[in-house]
């Protein structure tokens, strides 16, 4: 009794059903060249995984149990593929196609080599490290750079702030702010040693009500009276008609309704 291969049997069943390869291709989406190779037992270079998948689809389409055509259908690809193929219901023996006989050799060739695996891991580590260095370089280069002109302006501002903090500079500023008509009326200069809330009334009119920032100075002239309130007695220095007052009270001590007149000078309520 002659043996019949899996491909020959599938081709015979297809022809008995009156189906062309084009019709099978439309229904199964398997390329006609692959169908021809399956029926001719010519798929020798195809991966065993795809090969068994195509066979399974083709068998189910023709109404054939895949177990009759695919070795180890239940066990999967992890077991050997070189086993006897079950005989069909008509007791005619099936010949295992050559591409299935070579599947086990292909699977063994796909097993990872330990040395190769170590080389791949090393290469991936180098790539990741290189990406990290690249991102770090991009971050550093993206930081805003200060131009020489801006750096020069910042340096000048810092120097001016240091001059304002020095006692000599303060004295020059306050003296420059004293009105020339100091011989008549009342003149007041306030210099902030720390940030301080200041309220100033000149002849009954509010001229200042805000926080005087550290290092800032301001001056006023009144005909009759100046009223003054401070958020912190130790935060400011006063010059009244050329006379300097540096110790008005404790730090954080609030002083309200300080009266300055030409006749009585500076009066601090206690």
Strand partners, 220: 188
Q: Tell how far CA 247 is from the center of its chain.
A: 54
The least confident of 11-25, 78-92, 202-216 is 78-92
Token pair, residue 94, equals 């099936």
pLDDT at site 112: 53
Instruction: Give per-residue pLDDT as tens, 153-208.
Output: 778 888 877 766 655 444 443 443 444 444 578 999 999 999 999 999 999 999 99
More confident site: 157 or 245:
245
* Distances in whole angstroms, Cα of residue 25 to Cα of each of 29, 68, 235: 5, 22, 93
pLDDT at site 151: 75
DSSP 8-state class, residue 31: -
Transcribe 104-124 into DSSP letters: HHHHHHTSPPHHHHHHHHHHH
On the CB side of 240, CA atoms within 13 Å amount to 21
Neighbours of 109 (CB within 10 A): 7
Mention every residue, 6+ apart, whose C-beta is less than 8 A from residue 57: 28, 30
Average pLDDT, stretch 234-249? Answer: 89
Rounded Cα distance, 254 and 243, in Å: 22
pLDDT at site 149: 66
Among 38-47, 203-212, 246-255, top mean pLDDT goes to 203-212
In the predicted structure, residue 122 carries a pLDDT above the cut 80:
yes
Could you give the percent of the chain with pLDDT greater than 70? 71
pLDDT at site 123: 95
More confident site: 17 or 47:
17
> What average pLDDT does the structure give for the chain?
77
Rounded Cα distance, 101 and 103, in Å: 6
In the predicted structure, residue 249 carries a pLDDT above the cut 80:
yes
Rounded Cα distance, 56 and 64, in Å: 9
DSSP 8-state class, residue 157: H
pLDDT at site 155: 83
Q: Dihedral through CA 148, CA 150, CA 154, CA 157, nearest 10?
A: 120
Token pair, residue 190, equals 């306030």
Could you give the percent of the chain with pLDDT greater than 90? 37
The least confident of 11-20, 113-122, 149-158 is 149-158
pLDDT at site 199: 92
For β-strands 4-5 and 94-95, DSSP reports them as parallel
**pTM above 0.75?**
no
pLDDT at site 162: 74
More confident site: 108 or 232:
232
Residue 228's nearest CA partner among 206, 250, 243, 245 is 206
CB 69 within 8 A of CB 63: no
In the predicted structure, residue 147 carries a pLDDT above the cut 70:
no
Rounded Cα distance, 75 and 19, in Å: 31
Residue identified by tokens 């060249």 is: 33
Phi and psi angles of residue 166, each rounded to the nearest 5 degrees, phi first: -75, 145
Instruction: Give per-residue pLDDT as tens, 92-118.
Output: 444 445 555 454 444 444 455 677 888
End-to-end alpha carbon distance in the chain: 130
For the chain, state the CA radius of gyration.
Answer: 50
pLDDT at site 139: 87
């Amino acid at each position: 009794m002659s043996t019949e291969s899996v491909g020959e049997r599938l081709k015979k069943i297809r022809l008995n059903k009156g189906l062309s390869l084009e019709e099978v291709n439309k229904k199964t989406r398997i390329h006609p060249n692959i169908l021809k190779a399956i029926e001719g037992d010519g798929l020798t270079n195809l991966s065993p995984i795809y090969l068994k998948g195509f066979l399974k689809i083709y068998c189910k389409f023709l109404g054939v149990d895949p177990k009759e055509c695919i070795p180890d259908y239940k066990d999967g690809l992890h077991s050997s593929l070189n086993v006897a193929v079950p005989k069909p219901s008509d007791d005619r023996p099936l010949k295992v196609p050559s591409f299935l006989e070579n599947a086990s050799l292909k699977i063994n060739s796909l097993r990872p080599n330990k040395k190769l695996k170590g080389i791949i891991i090393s290469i991936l580590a180098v790539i990741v490290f290189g990406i990290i260095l690249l991102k770090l370089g991009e971050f550093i280069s993206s930081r805003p750079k200060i131009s020489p002109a801006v750096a020069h302006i910042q340096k000048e501002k810092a120097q001016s702030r240091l001059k304002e903090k020095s006692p000599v500079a303060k004295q020059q500023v306050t003296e420059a702010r004293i009105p020339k008509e100091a011989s008549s009326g009342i003149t007041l200069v306030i210099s902030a040693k720390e940030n301080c809330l200041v309220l100033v009334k000149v002849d009954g009119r509010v001229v200042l009500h805000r926080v005087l920032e550290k290092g800032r100075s301001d001056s006023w002239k009144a005909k009759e009276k100046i009223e003054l309130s401070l958020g912190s007695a130790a935060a400011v220095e006063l010059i009244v008609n050329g006379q300097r007052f540096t110790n008005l009270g404790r730090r954080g001590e609030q002083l309200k309704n300080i009266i300055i007149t030409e006749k009585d000078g500076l009066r601090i309520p206690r």
